[in-house]
Amino acid sequence: MSDYKNQDLKVIVFQLNNEEYAVPVNQVGSIERAQHITRVPSTKEFVKGVINLRGVVTPIIDLRSRFGLEEAAHTESTRIIIVYMDELEVGIIVDAANDVIDIPANFIEPPPEVVGTVEAEYIRGVAKLENRLLILLNLHKVLNEEEANSIKSMEG
């Protein structure tokens, strides 16, 4: 897995619980409006089900639930970001998808010991840009191997 050091990073910024998070653009397939999610029985609490996205059955994860945050009702700004975690394609529910920005490599710092309420293992680093603090997510850690395998079985 490549380290972010020494390279600028193009990211998609999204909001969760009034914090700004970022994921690399090259791990994002698309950003979709919230839509009907078909519940799948016997899955983890944070796995909300699947959607049919242009003929592809895509598992959906609620990041708020995954991070142990209070779940929120979907609003007009709620988005599903389709991301690639290794060979797995999943949708993550976020409060809003804000923008695409370039982060210069020298603005990226290792994660502090404690970052808000999100467990440090999910965090790859933080970037301080003007008056913003972006938390860079490590998508490979958002699901552990067992969880990823159970979600893989949901894909059509």
CA dist 65 and 106 (Å) reads 32
Domain ranges of the chain: 9-152
The amino acid that residue 83 corresponds to is V
pLDDT at 88: 86
pLDDT at 116: 56
Average per-residue pLDDT for the chain: 87
How big is the chain, counted in residues?
Answer: 156
The CATH architecture annotation of domain 9-152 reads Beta Barrel (2.40)
Among 129, 84, 136, CA closest to 107: 129
Q: Say whether pLDDT at 115 is over 80.
A: no
pTM of the entire structure?
Answer: 0.88
Q: Say whether pLDDT at 110 is over 70.
A: yes
Give the pLDDT confidence of 125-142 residue by residue, as tens digits. Answer: 999 988 899 999 988 888
Contact criterion met (CB below 8 Å) for 12 and 28? yes
CA dist 118 and 87 (Å) reads 24
CA dist 82 and 79 (Å) reads 10
Give the SS3 label for residue 57.
strand
CA dist 7 and 14 (Å) reads 21
pLDDT at 1: 37
Task: For the chain, state the CA radius of gyration.
Answer: 15
